[in-house]
């Protein structure tokens, strides 16, 4: 339920407050407004002159205080003052529903079955579950019941509770504390982000150095293979020359027999030998 619907439900009682000129009429109006099924905000009714007039009355001032409890107090506030008049069944349920909203919205609230049953003065967990169910169907809060864990899980709370006089300073303190917690969490996140970025940069540099080393090793290996290939090529050519020399015709080799080289040397040697053989020996 939003505040607009709640104010619309309160509007008829604001109109009646203008004609409630006697204390008894003001008290009756307070009882009617706090018992109505759809009224959940009461600060505007407290500001009406005829209602505000009974605030300092010794006889009727307690009814004004009851209206204040419905506006921003809780069931515990009501139970703490034994001088307050008893509430009707409708008023009791209404105040416990409003108290549930206050408990659910409190920082670090204990929403266990045991804690809520004690705070709301309920007799059993089934009574608590019934009250929470009524609050859910009345759009006062979004919640789920967890019987196995004995906990009420609150997701959202309707903004229907009014601020008590003098509570602004406390509210600002809560907001400042919340803001500091947010700043602390943000600083931690930024520090973690900086660590991740530094680690990523370090890893990138290490990978770049490793890639450079691998490239250099590959280049050196390629140059070594080229030199070996050249050496093998030279050796092959030299070997071929030696094989050519071995296959050469023995007659073409200058063995010191005829002096010259080539086939002519071979012919001259043979011719010389025959020439010597053919010459007469001194005759």
pLDDT recorded at residue 281: 44
Residues 169-218: tens digit of each pLDDT: 776 777 788 788 899 899 999 999 999 999 999 999 999 999 988 888 88
**In the chain, pLDDT over 90 holds for what percent of residues?**
59
Token pair 């080539």 is at which residue?
262
Question: What region, left, alpha or beta, does residue 150 occupy, with left being phi > 0 and alpha being psi -120 to 50 degrees?
Answer: left
Higher pLDDT, 136 or 275: 136
User: What pLDDT, on the 0 to 100 scale, is given for residue 143?
Assistant: 95
For the chain, the domains span: 3-165, 167-247
Q: Which two tokens stand for residue 99?
A: 């108290």
User: Which DSSP category does 152 fall into?
Assistant: E
Give, in order, the Cα–Cα distances in Å from 119 to each of 123, 142, 208, 257. 11, 20, 65, 136
* pTM of this prediction exceeds 0.85: no
Residues in Cβ contact with 170 at an 8 Å cutoff, skipping those fewer than 6 apart = none
- In this predicted structure, what is the pLDDT of residue 229? 55
- Three-state SS at 156: strand
pLDDT per residue as tens digits for the range 101-153: 999 988 788 999 999 999 999 999 999 999 999 999 999 999 999 999 999 99
- Mean pLDDT value across residues 6-17: 93
Query: Does 168 have pLDDT greater than 90?
Result: no
**Of 5-19, 185-199, 231-245, minimum mean pLDDT range:** 231-245
């Amino acid at each position: 339920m939003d505040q607009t619907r709640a104010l619309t439900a309160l509007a008829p009682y604001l109109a009646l407050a203008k004609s409630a000129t006697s204390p008894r009429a003001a008290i009756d109006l307070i009882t009617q407004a706090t018992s109505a099924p759809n009224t959940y905000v009461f600060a505007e009714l407290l500001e009406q002159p005829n209602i505000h007039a009974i605030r300092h009355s010794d006889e009727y001032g307690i009814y004004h205080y009851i209206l204040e409890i419905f506006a921003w107090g809780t069931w515990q506030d009501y139970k703490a003052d034994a001088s307050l008049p008893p509430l009707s069944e409708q008023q009791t349920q209404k105040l416990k529903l409003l108290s549930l909203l206050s408990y659910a919205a409190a920082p670090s609230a204990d929403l266990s079955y045991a804690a809520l049953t004690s705070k709301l003065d309920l007799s059993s967990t089934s009574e608590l579950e019934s009250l929470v169910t009524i609050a859910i169907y009345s759009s006062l809060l979004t919640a789920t019941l967890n019987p196995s864990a004995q906990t009420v899980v609150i997701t959202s709370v309707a903004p229907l509770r009014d601020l008590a006089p003098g509570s602004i300073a406390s509210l600002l303190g809560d907001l400042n504390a919340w803001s500091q917690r947010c700043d602390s969490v943000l600083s931690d996140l930024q520090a973690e982000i900086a660590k991740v970025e530094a680690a990523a940069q370090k890893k990138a540099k290490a990978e770049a150095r490793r890639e450079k080393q691998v490239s250099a090793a590959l280049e050196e290996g390629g140059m070594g293979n080229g030199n070996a290939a050249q050496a093998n090529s030279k050796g092959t050519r030299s070997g071929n020359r030696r094989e050519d020399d071995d296959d050469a015709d023995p007659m073409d080799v200058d063995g010191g027999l005829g002096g010259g080289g080539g086939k002519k040397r071979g012919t001259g040697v043979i011719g010389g030998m025959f020439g010597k053989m053919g010459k007469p020996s001194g005759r």
